[in-house]
């Protein structure tokens, strides 16, 4: 079969179970595509061909023995932020260029237990800080829709790999939009779960009160399959919630849109940098949802102006604390020939971290320093609470909130936006993390340059099944999620 990469996760699952093809054939097919096409996309940092084929053979044996799960033998790419035992985990940083974790992240371990086959580790902005994946020590990844553009970030490698059909689905993480924005830039469906739904154990920390892993795939149904693997309580993560998980696949239904009250925040659609094509496509998708039975309700989210300053205090503050462990002593990059301990610390950190990471460490350390702590960090925490309350009040009168995932489509590689311009691009995604809410991106069309546009739907706590169902029903009635970039159409 030459078109195995066209199959949905459900079709892969059924095809494997029905012995239409083996996991080895499927895995070899994807490895061949990666070898041929990833020289252009550059989505993988590490390809684990040998392990993948061994896992595929074990999966085929499990299928024959009748011990398979729905996903046994299905390949996956992991964001290079999830620790993988025996396989390099870099977080896109020179600091971890030689780091081999002694254990698997819970998400990776659960994937293995479900029989998933790891194709490799995919590129990302260094320590998940960024919106283009250009902040990676390993260089930029290309957007499959136009190789001169970025795939978004920080989970840009995950998005590009799936959009170029170099993996059927991928894990991502979202601290301030890093699942939703690259999904939007690459025409994919991506779900950022409620804080605490997916274990953070073994997921390299950026800002621990905001970080959350989630699925990136071509459709809501594909995401639901991966959520069934990723979600759940984990004793190894004290912030993971002890709450039953849904069966996200079984819960998908065709009636989620009827009677759904969708809040349209006035403030979101008046943002200065909102691109006209993005606005138009999002509005068209909302019209479609209305035709399908939803009610559109204009709402106010009065804290919108506070999102960027609040996030860009809290996230760097937590980052400065989390990244203090990279000192050149315990593990990670170590500078050569230090003259004394101070020199070792200083040079290991200035040589091992890239510019954006250093900028965030400086901002965060400043915000946490004695004398500024109350004025910046404590104040930001108070505003964070107000932002959360603003959402919760809104959910008394609407079921979900609609927004673009990003004000623009994918930037050109090397556009070299100033840090502040870049941060302003996160306006639609970061408040969701500050509040700990779930949100999903769905592809809803293209701009004049044929770059994908995404609609974001924000839900109340633990409404992942509802968000997936709404997008699933939308995707049954539309075909944006079935569109493929030209490079994905190429055969290996
Ligand atoms: N772009 C945002 C940042 O740079 C979000 C990143 C993320 O979600 N990891 O912090």
Stretches in the chain below the pLDDT threshold 70: 1-2
Nearest CA to ligand 1 atom 10: 129
pLDDT of amino acid 457: 99
Q: In whole angstroms, give the CA distance from residue 198 to residue 211.
A: 10
pLDDT of amino acid 492: 78
Q: Which of 178, 200, 355 to mutate to test the pocket of ligand 1 (most atoms within 8 A of CB)?
A: 178
- Residues ≥6 apart with Cβ < 8 Å to 289: 257, 260, 262, 296, 470, 474
* Contact by Cβ (8 Å): 411, 132: yes
Q: Is the CB of 463 under 6 A from ligand 1?
A: no
Sheet holding 452-459, edge to edge: 44-47, 117-122, 75-79, 170-173, 213-217, 189-192, 439-446, 452-459, 400-404, 261-265, 295-299
* Contact by Cβ (8 Å): 433, 213: no
Q: In whole angstroms, give the CA distance from residue 330 to residue 336.
A: 15
Write the pLDDT tens digit of every residue in 142-175: 999 999 999 999 999 999 999 999 999 999 999 9
Whole-model pTM?
0.98
* Contact by Cβ (8 Å): 211, 324: no
Pairing of strands 213-217, 189-192: antiparallel
Residue 84's beta-bridge partner residues? 87
Q: In whole angstroms, give the CA distance from residue 12 to residue 3.
A: 11
Q: Which residue has the tokens 């046994």?
A: 72
CA of 178 from ligand 1 middle (Å) equals 5
pLDDT of amino acid 443: 98
Q: In whole angstroms, give the CA distance from residue 94 to residue 353.
A: 7
Write the pLDDT tens digit of every residue in 372-402: 999 999 999 999 999 999 999 999 999 999 9
* Contact by Cβ (8 Å): 96, 354: no
Q: In whole angstroms, give the CA distance from residue 129 to residue 361.
A: 11
The tokens describing 239, both together, are 């912030």
């Amino acid at each position: 079969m030459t078109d195995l990469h066209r199959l949905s996760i459900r079709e892969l699952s059924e095809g494997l179970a029905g012995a239409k093809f083996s996991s080895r054939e499927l895995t070899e097919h994807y490895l061949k595509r990666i070898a041929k096409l990833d020289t252009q996309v550059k989505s993988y940092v590490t390809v684990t061909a040998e392990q993948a084929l061994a896992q595929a053979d074990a999966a085929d044996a499990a299928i024959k023995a009748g011990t398979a799960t729905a996903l046994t033998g299905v390949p996956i790419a992991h964001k290079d932020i999830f620790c993988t035992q025996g396989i390099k985990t870099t977080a896109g940083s020179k600091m971890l260029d030689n780091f081999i974790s002694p254990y698997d992240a819970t998400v990776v371990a659960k994937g293995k237990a479900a029989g998933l086959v790891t194709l490799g580790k995919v590129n990302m902005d260094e320590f998940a800080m960024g919106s283009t994946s250009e902040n990676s020590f390993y260089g930029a990844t290309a957007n499959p829709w136009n190789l001169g553009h970025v795939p978004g970030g920080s989970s840009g490698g995950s998005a590009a790999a799936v959009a170029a059909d170099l993996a059927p689905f991928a894990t991502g993480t979202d601290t301030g939009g890093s699942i939703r924005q690259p999904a939007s830039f690459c025409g994919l469906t991506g779900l950022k779960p409620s804080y605490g739904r997916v274990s953070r154990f073994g997921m390299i920390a950026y800002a621990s009160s905001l970080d959350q892993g989630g699925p990136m795939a071509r459709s809501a149904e594909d995401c639901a399959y991966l959520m069934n693997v990723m979600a759940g309580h984990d004793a190894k993560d004290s912030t993971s919630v002890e709450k039953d998980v849904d069966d996200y696949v079984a819960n998908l239904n065709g009636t989620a849109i009827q009677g759904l009250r969708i809040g349209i925040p006035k403030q979101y659609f008046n943002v200065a940098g909102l691109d006209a094509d993005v606005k138009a496509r999002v509005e068209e998708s909302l019209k479609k949802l209305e035709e399908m039975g939803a009610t559109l309700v204009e709402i106010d989210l009065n804290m919108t102006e506070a999102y960027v300053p609040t996030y860009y205090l809290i996230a760097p503050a937590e980052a400065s604390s989390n990244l203090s462990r990279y000192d050149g002593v315990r593990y990670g990059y170590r500078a050569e020939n230090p003259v004394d301990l101070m020199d070792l610390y200083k040079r290991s950190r200035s040589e091992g971290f890239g510019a954006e990471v250093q900028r965030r460490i400086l901002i965060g350390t400043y915000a946490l320093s004695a004398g500024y702590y109350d004025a910046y960090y404590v104040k930001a925490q108070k505003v964070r609470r107000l932002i959360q309350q603003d959402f919760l009040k809104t959910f008394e009168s609407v079921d979900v909130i609609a927004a673009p995932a990003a004000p623009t489509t994918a930037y050109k590689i090397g556009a070299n936006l100033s840090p502040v311009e870049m941060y302003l691009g996160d306006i639609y995604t970061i408040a969701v993390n500050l509040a700990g809410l779930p949100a999903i991106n769905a592809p809803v069309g293209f701009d004049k340059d044929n770059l994908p546009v995404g609609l974001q739907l924000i839900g109340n706590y633990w409404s992942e099944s509802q968000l997936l169902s709404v997008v699933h029903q939308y995707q049954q009635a539309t075909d944006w999620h079935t569109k493929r970039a030209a490079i994905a159409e190429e055969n290996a």
